[in-house]
A and B are shown apart, each in its own frame.
Chain A
């Protein structure tokens, strides 16, 4: 029996996140699906809403954040599916790492996934709608990170629950979408203000809601996660 020290919470979370990303990188299918979905959706929205009749700057924020929501949902499914398949989750829970680390690790992997998709989707929207992206890229990236944090906290928790039920794929959107509204609305409103050239400070009142949401729900979901595990 060798002397050893099991990893602490953050180290364990990093370990689990790396493992999840390694699995995703190996197959890449979920990432490619989410990416393809985003691009196709952008095209469909572009043709469905005539950007000559209404300003592109008015349409683009809505399109961007709606696609963000639904492509995010696509990515969240795989998070616990891979643990359920051969009950790998049992090995994880039987190990010395604590439950918060499992949540944090999976949320971090989901965050990387969502931000990866956004890194392609945002420029794609800018391209289609002729947006002055270079001007606003920094604050827009900031909004994307804040929105992704909120989406991933709620989404990771609900996908842990949904993976244990009969209607997994259908249940996740039904449960999660009401919770995504306080993310999408501030994100879209601040993006609209940024794109119209208004100063960042005007978007601050919306961003405050988003930041508050992130703080409250990261904590609440991390605390709620152990209750989704059988005890």
Chain B
């Protein structure tokens, strides 16, 4: 009944994703060719345009959505919320992986080290671990209801973990002198760079939403097909069973 519609949906061209990809390509072009090179850090600084928005989107939007959708699922038990959480986790883990890869790439030429216990980078690392644990947990459970409940619990607890990681890192860094990091503060960026940053932020957000939607639809289609399979089996049988009071 509905599956043929869903399959047709899948074949329809995903305009949002296409727009997001175009925006990303345009942003890359602007970053590489049309944005001035930063005086102190050189060309490597341009990784910032990918790194910082991905961190914000992956951590706060991606993980925030996982935790929020999870909490709502525990309250409302609507399977759509579980699908949103799962999709957000998969897209979020991609974004946070990008953050963890670009961090060292940026850090090595500028600070001379591959890794530093920078507050945001450390938090990203921990949320990445929770994301990965979340996805492994989902993979280890067959029953959809159990999977949804357990994932939601992990998501909510992960959100509770965030302030403690913040506190721990903050205290660790205050008591243990660490290299002062040179980072362009966002408000003090010259207008050229600010514009590029804004463009990068918008296209990464667009990409996140497009990927989230595509992933959500995939989950929806799969769930619908599974439901049809089991409905077919039981509807034939129930024709013969008459209720008796």
Verify whether A and B have any Cβ pair under 8 Å: yes
- Where chain B touches its partner, the secondary structure class is helix
> Chain A 177-202 against B: per-residue CB contact (8 Å), 1 yes, 0 no?
11101100110010000000000000
User: Distance (Å) between the CB of B152 and the closest chain A CB?
Assistant: 7
Q: Is the CB of A178 within 8 A of B129?
A: yes
User: Distance (Å) between the CB of A215 and the closest chain B CB?
Assistant: 11
Q: Is the CB of A227 within 8 A of B152?
A: yes
Give the number of A-B contacts (CB < 8 Å): 79
Indicate if A206 sits at the interface (CB-CB under 8 A). Answer: yes
Q: Is the CB of A224 within 8 A of B164?
A: no
Q: Is the CB of A182 within 8 A of B165?
A: yes
Q: How many angstroms from the CA of A220 to the CA of B161 in the assembled complex? A: 11
Indicate if A91 sits at the interface (CB-CB under 8 A). Answer: no
Chain A: residues with Cβ within 8 Å of the partner, total of 31
Indicate if B178 sits at the interface (CB-CB under 8 A). Answer: no
- Where chain A touches its partner, the secondary structure class is helix
Q: How many angstroms from the CA of A157 to the CA of B161 in the assembled complex? A: 15
Answer whether A206 and B165 are a contact pair too, CB < 8 Å, given A164-B141, A228-B149, A230-B146.
no
Q: Is the CB of A177 within 8 A of B168?
A: no
> Chain B 160-191 against A: per-residue CB contact (8 Å), 1 yes, 0 no?
11001101100110010000000000000000
Indicate if B156 sits at the interface (CB-CB under 8 A). Answer: yes
Q: Is the CB of B136 within 8 A of A171?
A: yes
Q: Is the CB of A167 within 8 A of B164?
A: no
Q: How many angstroms from the CA of A209 to the CA of B130 in the assembled complex? A: 20
Q: How many angstroms from the CA of A212 to the CA of B160 in the assembled complex? A: 12
Answer whether A161 and B168 are a contact pair too, CB < 8 Å, given A174-B136, A175-B133, A227-B74.
no
